Amino acid sequence: MRQIDETHDPQLASWVESANRPGCDFPLQNLPFAVFRRAGSREPLRCGVGIGEAILDLTALGPAAPREGAAAEALAACAAPALNALMALGPQAWQALRRGLSRLLRADSPHARALAAALVPQAQAEFALPARIGDYTDFYTSIHHATAVGRLFRPDQPLLPNYKWVPIAYHGRASSIGVSGQRVRRPHGQLMPRGADSPRLAPSERLDYELELGVLIGPGNALGEPIPIERAEEHVFGLCLLNDWSARDVQAWEYQPLGPFLAKNFATTVSPWVVTLEALAPYRAPWRRAEHDPAPLPYLDCAALRAAGAIEIALEVALETALMRERALAPERLAQADFRDSYWSIAQMVAHHTVNGCNLAPGDLLGTGTQSGPAPQQAGSLLELTAGGSRPLTLKSGEQRRFLADGDRVILRAWCERAGFARIGFGEAAGTVWPAA
């Protein structure tokens, strides 16, 4: 587990004034990474760090840049148009760079005047995927989501008997992952109408979002060599927001016996910002199971996991319809959940993924699966919020939604707050539904 150090001091302020404003997602204590360039330019993509409402261009530090050691090696990796090279270096390099950047950006930094030229306003930037994502695996870590969906698909057996033993997952499609701002075409697929004798090919009528986190892998493992749970987080660079768009009518017809396929592979949206595990150190919490639940098998259990394997991350999903945009109405929050309620942890995801010898690589993406809490208003999908479409939501605009309509914009947000530490955020992952081709 990452340790709390000088970079987490809540008294630290930055010479970047917008980073000191209450409620800011990117105060000095966060320093998330992204890949960007100035909007509309032909500049090369490069790595940057979020600070307030700006991006610190890591290729433009000039004389202030560290010249030797792990921090210098990590900074050199940031010249690439993706974070993979930095991710591959491991925690020692990441921590050294974080300390160095924190000191450069503090209010008392002697480099403030020189580094001002290395800032790019976020509003003037365009973002790319933070990494070259070679593989994508989506897990199913929320027992509340799994149970609620199970009641809709399998009323006689909502939670399958393996769920409390196995971190369930399926292999997703990396090629259709896009960054926030993605336009999502309503997908076609086979639909089986109720009472019909045969399916039909048509645009999905039950398009949904999923409120998730993405886990970006750092150093990989060799094929055939599992990652022990005690060392699993050494292989995790950081977290982002993730919306795994889902065609629920396609899913209902195709998901047995091998699981999701066309219902999931048409689009996944991630936030441009990656919040590192270093930044999340103050928000750790003990990982617990209900007393009557089985203890995990030994390869999924360790003392460090039980002491601090969970992370308290508030998650929120909001909806902006075309009518709301027309009337200049603010997006409406639909639900709020917390990653602390996840049944399986990040370390368990990594350990289970590799226990058979599967090799992970820098930049690989693991989805947490839809994050839902125990209360109805904590549901991370419309499938749950509307009970499979049987109870439509009435929005403040007067519109109703069972599932997503064309023109709907879905916005995911997340943040961490704890007494004695600064609030940090994840930015947002937003995507808009476009009509079927």
Catalytic residue positions? 145
Residue indicated by tokens 């991630």: 270
Residue indicated by tokens 């209902």: 252
Phi and psi at 124, nearest 5°, equal -105, 15
What is the rounded CA–CA span in Å between residue 295 and residue 301?
A: 8
CA distances, 96 to each of 27, 72, 109, 202, 426 (Å) = 19, 9, 17, 53, 22
Angle at 66 between CA 64 and CA 68, to 5 degrees: 150
CB 80 within 8 A of CB 47: yes
What is the rounded CA–CA span in Å between residue 351 and residue 353?
A: 6
The tokens describing 327, both together, are 């009337």
The tokens describing 279, both together, are 């930044």
Query: What sign does the CA torsion over 94, 366, 410, 184 have?
Result: positive
CA distances, 73 to each of 66, 76, 90 (Å) = 9, 5, 11
Angle at 143 between CA 417 and CA 247, to 5 degrees: 95
List all residues 6 or more positions away from 118 whose beta carbon is below 8 Å from its beta carbon: 56, 57, 60, 61, 62
What is the identity of the amino acid at 57?
Answer: D
User: Residue 414 carries which DSSP code?
Assistant: E
Query: What sign does the CA torsion over 302, 306, 311, 317 have?
Result: positive
Residue indicated by tokens 């070679």: 134
Residue indicated by tokens 């991006």: 55
What is the rounded CA–CA span in Å between residue 212 and residue 270?
A: 9
What is the identity of the amino acid at 126?
Answer: E
User: Residue 203 carries which DSSP code?
Assistant: E
CB 292 within 8 A of CB 234: no
The tokens describing 231, both together, are 């060392």
